[in-house]
Structure 1
Amino acid sequence: MNKKNQLTEKQSAILQSEMKKHQKSVGLAYVLCIFLGIFGIHKFYLRNVRQGIVYLILGLVSIPSLIVGEFTGLISFGASGNLLFRFGLACLAILVILLIIDLFTIPRQVRQANMAAEDKIIDQLLSSYGK
């Protein structure tokens, strides 16, 4: 049975009010993905903290590795800079692939985040009112 059907009218009104506070926006998720996706900000917004940390680490590792690797390679003409540059490039490639996937899956991710928030609020309402 659907837990939402178990709510009283008062609980349903509280649910709607709480969902207005916690509901995530597809538009904002896209904006965050496009402009700050390299740091995983859109994942943190959608409450996917683990994935956000992965994106953040990839972003924070790839950019400095590319810069330092290129700079070191130019100065020393050695393979150490080239290796660091390639590592940064690989991290950036993984991140770009993940971001492209996100561009196609953000609506589903937002729906899932909103459904999870709604389920959590419903559980709190049902447990606090003893229903």
Structure 2
Amino acid sequence: MEEVSEEPVDLVERICAIDIGKTTVVACVRVPHEVKPGRRVQEVREFSTLPSSLIELSDWLRCQQVNKVAMESTSTYWKPVYYLLEAEGFDCELFNARHVKNVPGRPKTDKLDAIWLAKVIERGMCRPSLVIPGRSASCVT
């Protein structure tokens, strides 16, 4: 006999997923809706990969009270973003693009990639890659 469980899904409450390109990053923040329980609100913004813009991204994430930042590994472009946000105190996770792409239903634009990654990670549908600590000094200027 099949048993149906009414347990709520454990979601990451406040998440940011970042689609990283060579010159820009697209960030999608998903947080609980203030009025409607069980609903989510998302906002998508684009930032340059210049350090000053990444600090602006960090400030926005802090204002949104984000508690996890997820990003796909794209060449080596992820390194400055990852290490800067990690140095700013965010819980950063890097995901292998091949694993995320294997999850069915994936759209393909920078904005849709960021939204899709946020939804996949908040539901725990992928596992993060190992990032070796101590490389930040050479990656962020």
TM-score tier by shorter-chain length is under 0.3
More strand as a share of residues: 2
TM-score (norm 1): 0.27
TM-score (norm 2): 0.26
More helix as a share of residues: 1
Choose 1 or 2 for highest CA Rg.
1
